[in-house]
Amino acid sequence: DTAVSQTPKYLVTQMGNDKSIKCEQNLGHDTMYWYKQDSKKFLKIMFSYNNKELIINETVPNRFSPKSPDKAHLNLHINSLELGDSAVYFCASSLGPRGYIQYFGAGTRLSVL
Amino acid sequence: KNEVEQSPQNLTAQEGEFITINCSYSVGISALHWLQQHPGGGIVSLFMLSSGKKKHGRLIATINIQEKHSSLHITASHPRDSAVYICAVRETSGSRLTFGEGTQLTVNP
């Protein structure tokens, strides 16, 4: 069983579309994260939820909206996609918000045409 | 300037060589993480440390809190060690990780 699973693995879409990426973890962790990795492979935190509560909200456009229906799921919805949104998006989870190793999903490669 | 700097950016080694990747940071931290990103893109946590040294197989991670510096060592390197190695720090004041830009390691047979 995959510990942190993201879907889809690849997403190719047109500018202006709205898309969602889903993430689920079966580790019983309380904390989940979304990261963006740009073309230079630089990872940056976008959001983090702890027990369904938003605890990290970095400076990202309002077009990005995370949703955590329960502790095991953290979805990322992106409105009005732009070319600059093309990147690999990683979901991760950890036992708690501080002092714990993070477990990463396999990533979702988003290409906006 | 990044809060987390790694060196070198790229490293090519021959199989069997001892490898060192360095990470320096400029903020107060509660923990430092070393991650490995495989050529296929997957990310794996290797170590989390806040002091001293940790060892797992051929991998050793050390940290010097006073000098704000950590090293990742790989002994008897192997082509399967080829990956991007990423250093990340958790600041004392917060819960987010700040990442270095990664070190691309290539080990040739």
pLDDT, tens only, B64-85: 999 999 999 999 999 999 999 9
Closest CA to B45 of B29, B32, B28: B32
Cα–Cα distance between A54 and A57 in angstroms, integer?
Answer: 7
Which residue in the block uniquely carries the two structure tokens 């004392």? Answer: B92
Interchain CB contact of A45 with B (< 8 Å): yes
> What pLDDT score does A90 carry?
97
Residue B45 and residue A88: Cβ atoms within 8 Å?
no
Residue B40 banded pLDDT, cuts 50, 70, 90:
confident
A43 and B99 in contact by Cβ < 8 A?
yes
Shortest Cα distance from B31 to chain A (angstroms)? 7
How many angstroms separate the CA atoms of B80 and B91, rounded? 32
- pLDDT band, very low/low/confident/very high, at B58 (cuts 50, 70, 90): very high
**Which positions of chain A have pLDDT values less than 50?**
none
- Mean pLDDT for chain B overall: 94
Give the residue-averaged pLDDT of B9-30.
96
Instruction: Please answer yes or no on whether A104 and B42 come within 8 Å at the CB atom.
Output: yes
